[in-house]
Amino acid sequence: MNSNSLVLAIANNKGGVGKTSTALNLACAFAGTRRKVLYIDLDPQGSASVSILRTRPISIISSGNALIQGSSLVPCIVPYQLAKFDLIPASDDLTAFCIKKADDEHKEHCLKEALKSLRLIYDIIIIDCPPALNLLTINALCAADELVIPTTCDYFAVEGLGSLMRAFESLKRKGLSTVHLMGIVCTIYNQGEPLSQKIAKDLKSNMGQLLFNTVIPYCSQISEAPSVGKPVILYDKNAIGSKAYLSLAAEILSRYQQQHQQ
Ligand SMILES: Nc1ncnc2c1ncn2[C@@H]1O[C@H](COP(=O)(O)OP(=O)(O)OP(=O)(O)O)[C@@H](O)[C@H]1O
Ligand SMILES: [Mg+2]
């Protein structure tokens, strides 16, 4: 195994909190540091895959099928030349994976097994999870070394963090996962909104060091970028959202290096 390989899951069972935007822009930022990066779209909605490939991926070997069969994910890899990272697109079979593997004894570890050979090739593997605490997210939490949770600063999103934390702790307690919670990042943050400010402050006092210093602000270019098939970092490098994602990437690498020096 590439001893320096890092598998990073971007997860939150709440929908629309910026998981895909975060995962895509982190992949782009890490690729910009000459690291070899793989982005796995584990969400059957396939938002990132559609944005990058400009069409729903049609391939004979889909990631869902490979996970069901226990075969290699290598034939599913597509290069994303513009951003200099590779992609494993989502597929409808990812939904089938949840159904077909439901009673499998090793159902939580299919992705972890599949990533063993990919860890030899890539420095960083980023997993974009679906907005559900289903078998796909569980597989991501069992395959990953580190977990990053994006959350918006609204009441329901912060309330919803509890169920993800409980699932995360339960997997660790059962010895199914060794993933480490690297941090929580506030996304789509509207600085002008008193409620967002209050929730961000409460998150800081409850989560302490777990909250990343970087906040991803509301940034219209982030929402425009997918329509032209680019992460915002490539769409408009001067946008506040691009600078924030570059800063988050640097913070993640710094936290990771600090952990490994200890
Ligand atoms: N910082 C931001 N500023 C403005 N819009 C944003 C920002 N981050 C994300 N968005 C937009 O919000 C929507 C949801 O973002 P995104 O798809 O990244 O979230 P998600 O958590 O992956 O959603 P899902 O749960 O459906 O997978 C998208 O339209 C995206 O372009
Ligand atoms: Mg998403």
What is this structure's pTM? 0.97
106: left (phi over 0), alpha (psi -120 to 50) or beta: alpha
Q: Cα(174) to centroid of ligand 2, in Å?
A: 28
Q: Please tell me the number of Cα atoms within 13 Å of 117 on its side-chain side.
A: 9
Burial of residue 122 (CB within 10 Å: 0-12, 13-18, 19+) is buried
In order along its 262 residues, the chain shows pLDDT tens digits of 466 799 999 999 999 999 999 999 999 999 999 999 999 999 999 999 888 888 766 556 799 999 999 999 999 999 999 999 999 999 889 999 999 999 999 999 999 999 999 999 999 999 999 999 999 999 999 999 999 999 999 998 988 899 999 999 999 999 999 999 999 999 999 999 999 999 999 999 999 999 999 999 999 999 999 999 999 999 999 999 999 999 999 999 999 999 888 6
Count the Cβ atoms, other than its own, within 10 Å of residue 217. Answer: 17
For ligand 1, atom 13, the nearest C-alpha belongs to 16
| Best probe residue, ligand 1, of 193, 223, 248 (max atoms within 8 Å of C-beta) | 223
> Tokens standing for 234?
């490539």
For ligand 1, atom 6, the nearest C-alpha belongs to 223
Can you tell me which atom of ligand 1 is nearest the CA of 225?
Answer: 31
Residues lying with their CB under 5 A of ligand 2, a single-atom ion: 19-20
